Amino acid sequence: MNGFDTTWKETRSDIIEFNNLPPGNYTFMAEVANTDGIWSIKPVTYSFSINDPFWKRWWFILLEVVTLLLAIQLFIRFRTGIITKREEEKTRINKLLADYQMKALRAQMNPHFIFNAINSIQNFVLLKDSTQAYDYLTKFSRLIRLVLISTKENEMTLKQEIEILALYVELEQLRFENAFEYIFHVDEKINTEAVVIPALFIQPYVENAIWHGLMPLKGRKGILDISIKEDKKNLLITIKDNGLGRERSSQIKKKVAHQSMGMDLNNKRIELFAQGSEVAQIIIKDIYDESGEPAGTHVEIILPMIESY
């Protein structure tokens, strides 16, 4: 087989095989002899060619290169699109944060809560958790809007107060990664749309329970229990937590800058709201477990049941 093997091979078979011939030009030559040993005068020849497989041909190689370049270009455009979209989301959220931050400051909300909330949203963005960021931002913007409305009035309906309080607790729970659970119960007999209380009156006590009672808590799950009910034609509001208690919390307060001013202001506001009513009062008690160890704080707020007309 010229082009593959130039040595002659002898066989008595009428079949000869050449396996795995590479692409190229070949000439097969054969001489035969009869039974008397007489050989043919000249060899029989057969020429043929084997072409390269299609994957080795120039047009296929060119197609592979073009396809690869297109795939790289599409991948780069895809990744660039994702990065651009992510940056646009960050820019959009940061613009909203700046807007809500200004609104919150105008509403004179607690600056600790404002900036901690904003840091939490930015943290979600950095973690590329847009869903959490938008969820937090939606609740935060709604809270800011309600607070801005409430600052225009000295009083607000109980329904508005409850809505603001629920949003605040949900935001703090989300920010602290569900470090505590909360229970919210409102007596169905109370017409929350008619009953009015001093604007943003309950929130400082809830904030104090979360920040100074539940957040430093270790060893057990924090629980915040908020209850609003009617008691002898008065409004009874209780905020109970299973946190550190006032004694241990007061030791920690000395080490931190944050102090709730709202609770001090409420003592003066309740006098103006109740207009000399003897039932209006705020009672704060410590809770102890069976062994006498601090097991939380119980705040009881009693307000006269005043309805708007």
Could you tell me if residue 253 is inside a domain? yes
DSSP for 64-106? HHHHHHHHHHHHHHHHHHHHHHHHHHHHHHHHHHHHHHHHHHH
Could you tell me if residue 174 is inside a domain? no
Give how many domains the chain has, as a whole number.
1
Residue 39 has pLDDT above 60, yes or no: yes
pLDDT class of 300 with cuts at 50, 70, 90: very high
pLDDT class of 98 with cuts at 50, 70, 90: low
What's the pLDDT score for residue 192? Answer: 92
pLDDT class of 236 with cuts at 50, 70, 90: very high
Could you tell me if residue 219 is inside a domain? yes
pLDDT, tens digit (0-9, with 9 covering 90-100), for 115-154: 666 766 666 666 666 777 777 778 888 887 777 776 666 7
Could you tell me if residue 70 is inside a domain? no
Could you tell me if residue 138 is inside a domain? no
Q: What is the mean pLDDT of residues 271-278?
A: 64
Contacts of 278 (CB under 8 A, 6+ apart): none
What's the pLDDT score for residue 208? Answer: 86
Instruction: Tell me which residue of 301, 183, 288, 218 sits closest to 246, measured CA to CA.
Output: 288
Expressed as residue numbers, the domain containing 306 is 181-309
Could you tell me if residue 50 is inside a domain? no
Residue 274 has pLDDT above 90, yes or no: no
Q: At 199, which CATH number?
A: 3.30.565.10
pLDDT class of 102 with cuts at 50, 70, 90: low
- Mean per-residue pLDDT of the chain: 80
pLDDT class of 220 with cuts at 50, 70, 90: confident
- Percent of the chain scoring above 70 in pLDDT: 76
pLDDT class of 269 with cuts at 50, 70, 90: low
Could you tell me if residue 96 is inside a domain? no
Q: What is the mean pLDDT of residues 215-224?
A: 86
Residue 93 has pLDDT above 70, yes or no: no
Distance CA(300)–CA(281), nearest Å, equals: 8
Residue 283 has pLDDT above 50, yes or no: yes
Could you tell me if residue 23 is inside a domain? no
What's the pLDDT score for residue 258? Answer: 45
Residue 223 has pLDDT above 60, yes or no: yes
Helix (H) or strand (E) holding 225: strand 222-231
Q: What is the mean pLDDT of residues 262-278?
A: 64
On whether the CB atoms of residues 14 and 43 are closer than 8 A, the answer is: no
Q: What is the mean pLDDT of residues 207-213?
A: 86
DSSP for the chain? -BTT--S----SSS-----SPPSEEEEEEE--B-TT-PBPSS-EEEEEEEPPPGGGSHHHHHHHHHHHHHHHHHHHHHHHHHHHHHHHHHHHHHHHHHHHHHHHHHTT--HHHHHHHHHHHHHHHHTT-HHHHHHHHHHHHHHHHHHHHHTT-SEEEHHHHHHHHHHHHHHHHHHTTT-EEEEEEE-TTS-TTTEEEETT-SHHHHHHIIIIIITT--SS-EEEEEEEEEETTEEEEEEEE-SS-HHHHHHHHTTSS---SHHHHHHHHHHHHHTT-TT-EEEEEEEE-TTS-EEEEEEEEEEE-EE--
